[in-house]
């Protein structure tokens, strides 16, 4: 089992920045990829960014050039630097992890096996 704990959410004005962090606990050696997904009330869950254990990354078109995903494998940490935030980025953000072949899929959105409890990001105009 893997447990994921997010932190770093909050409220910011449009154009501002936030950095989300995620700590992974448990059987982390099994993880092949980690990522961030988000879900706003009444909307479908959306894949935001994904990073493989070798460092390769994928981003949703809506966040390319604004968000950067990174990881520190030694510390079992995952990060999401979010710049130039827009009101439409307002959502609950979840840290996610997987160990299976879905990690190598082209789409950013995959059905992750593990999901954290989420951290709220609110961007005001």
Kindly report, residue by residue over 83-95, the tens digit of the pLDDT: 999 999 999 999 9
Positive or negative, the Cα torsion across 100, 67, 74, 8?
A: negative
d(CA 125, CA 119): 20
Kindly report, residue by residue over 23-54, the tens digit of the pLDDT: 999 998 989 999 999 999 999 999 999 999 88
24 and 97 in contact (C-beta within 8 Å)? yes
pLDDT number for residue 11: 98
24 and 108 in contact (C-beta within 8 Å)? no
For residue 31, report the phi and psi dihedrals to the nearest 5 degrees.
Answer: -70, 130
């Amino acid at each position: 089992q893997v447990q994921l704990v997010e932190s770093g959410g909050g409220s910011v004005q449009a154009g501002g920045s936030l950095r989300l962090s995620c700590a992974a606990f448990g059987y982390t050696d099994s993880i092949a990829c980690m990522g961030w997904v988000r879900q706003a009330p009444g909307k479908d869950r959306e894949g935001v960014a994904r990073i493989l254990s070798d460092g390769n990354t994928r981003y949703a078109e809506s966040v390319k050039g604004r968000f950067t995903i990174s990881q520190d494998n030694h510390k079992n940490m995952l990060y999401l630097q979010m710049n130039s935030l827009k009101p439409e980025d307002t959502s609950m953000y979840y840290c996610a992890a997987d160990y299976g072949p879905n990690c190598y899929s082209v789409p950013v959105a995959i059905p992750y096996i593990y999901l954290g409890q989420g951290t709220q990001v609110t961007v005001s105009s």
